[in-house]
Amino acid sequence: WNVGGWTSKSTINDLDFVDTVISLLKDKIQIDETRIYSSGMSNGGYMGYHLACNLSSKFAAIASVTGSMSFETYDECNARKPTPILQIHGSSDTVVPYAGLSVIMKPVMDVMEHWRINNSCDDFIHAVPGIIPGTSSWTETFLFDNCLNQTQNIHLYVQGAGHIWPGSIFARIKDPNASQIIWEFFSKYDINGVIQ
């Protein structure tokens, strides 16, 4: 996905591609245009943020697993509405380091602060590090509450997790189950915010 940073030599317009796919789906099959979401891992997570910045009118919420924002996406972000954000990241990720990489990617907490401001959320509530009910992994939860349109931003910082999708059959850490948590997060929102 062309999101700047290490992908900046790409000449592909992925934003136009995604917008075109959405238009084709609308024309070919019946879809609920108010409930379109983006989730992705690594570069796919970066692309989710890129979509939230550039096609915010199309996406109800985004979730990034082991992703961040490139400096280009961060600096040029022009989100036109509050977009609920879920970020899942491991403490031992060496591919997309939590602290970021100079001129390539922003630190994860800088990304969360960007979306706190964009969505007019309260400062985060840092839950006491612990085990999320129903899981077995030590996870810190950062909750950004009281955002516009009754939305939330959530960041799960999974201790000991590397560059993985927690809960996948390939991951050593089986929970929290990223897929389940993402769906529970998405299912609360449509393009206008909390589903009434």
DSSP character string of 158-193: ETT--SS-TTSTT-S---S-HHHHHHHHHTTEETTE
Q: How confident is the model at residue 84 (pLDDT cuts 50, 70, 90)?
A: very high
Q: What is the pLDDT of residues 24-44, one digit of tens each?
A: 999 999 899 999 999 999 999
Q: Which helix (H) or strand (E) holds 71?
A: helix 71-76
Is the peptide bond prior to 176 cis by the omega test (within 30 degrees of 0)?
yes
Residue 96 in tokens: 């997309």
Each residue of 138-184: pLDDT tens digit? 788 899 999 999 899 999 999 889 999 998 888 777 778 999 999 99
- In the beta sheet, which residues pair with residue 143? 125, 154
Element (H, E) at 109: helix 108-118
Report the pLDDT averaged over residues 76-101: 95
The pTM of the full predicted model, rounded to 2 decimals, is: 0.91
CA distance 192 to 110: 25
Half-sphere exposure of 40 (CA within 13 A, CB side): 17
What's CA 106's distance to the chain center, in Å? 14
Residue with tokens 């927690």: 166
Q: Which pLDDT does position 49 carry in this prediction?
A: 97
